[in-house]
Amino acid sequence: MSRAYPHPVIAREGWPFLALAVVVAALLTWLGWTVLAVLAWIAALFVLQFFRDPARTIPVDPKAVLAPADGRIVKVEKGRDPYLDRDALKISVFMNVFNVHSNRSPVDGKVVNRWYHAGSFLNAALDKASLENERNALHLRTAAGQDVTCVQIAGLVARRILCYVEPGAELARGQRYGFIRFGSRVDVYLDPSARPRVAVGDKVLATETILAEFA
């Protein structure tokens, strides 16, 4: 199933950065400073690719838990969900600066709660980043009563987590709900009975990749 996202292909979060980069590159070109102009245009292209936000095809499987972000799987393990204080299956997606950084809901569900924690800016690929870095967590509950915790985590370079939903909001699978700038990570906590469909090292695409299936 395809769904047109209600936002531009270039994320609006990047418009100020892209505009500044293009203005600087154009000015340097006009001044005839060739070497600096070339470097500035390269920087502008980097900003353009970083803030791309393409539409995605949504799997139809109602039991599927979808990837909330593009990136690489760095953790698939049974552990503890620190937000709901429960045993859980934890799956972590690490985003580098070349991945799409728009965050999308992994399930159809209602936002039950939201937590924000200020913190450090460690390398998001490290395990301790889950508990020490700046982060924003959402508790989602599906119509079938499944609880899903989805946590946006700032990285070494990231300095701002954006989340656009509050408790009471209804999210559809693949719906855009947030953005993290310049390198980060998203942790997903599920009931331990959920069956993982990815392994450490796998590359995933937000919405299109199935992380796990509810039992």
Domain coordinates of the chain in residue numbers? 12-50, 64-213
pLDDT number for residue 60: 86
At 103, which helix (H) or strand (E)? strand 102-104
User: Which spans in the chain are helix H?
Assistant: 15-31, 34-50, 129-132
pTM of the model: 0.84
pLDDT band at 204 (very low <50, low <70, confident <90, very high): very high
pLDDT tens for each residue of 78-123: 999 999 999 999 999 998 888 888 899 999 999 999 999 886 656 5
pLDDT band at 4 (very low <50, low <70, confident <90, very high): very low
pLDDT number for residue 126: 58
What topology does CATH give the domain 64-213? Glucose Permease (Domain IIA) (2.70.70)
CA–chain centroid gap for 141, Å, is: 19
pLDDT number for residue 25: 92
Alpha-carbon distance of 208 to 67, in angstroms, equals: 7
Alpha-carbon distance of 80 to 78, in angstroms, equals: 7
Pull the structure tokens for residue 169.
């909001």
Alpha-carbon distance of 107 to 98, in angstroms, equals: 25
* Catalytic residue IDs: 184
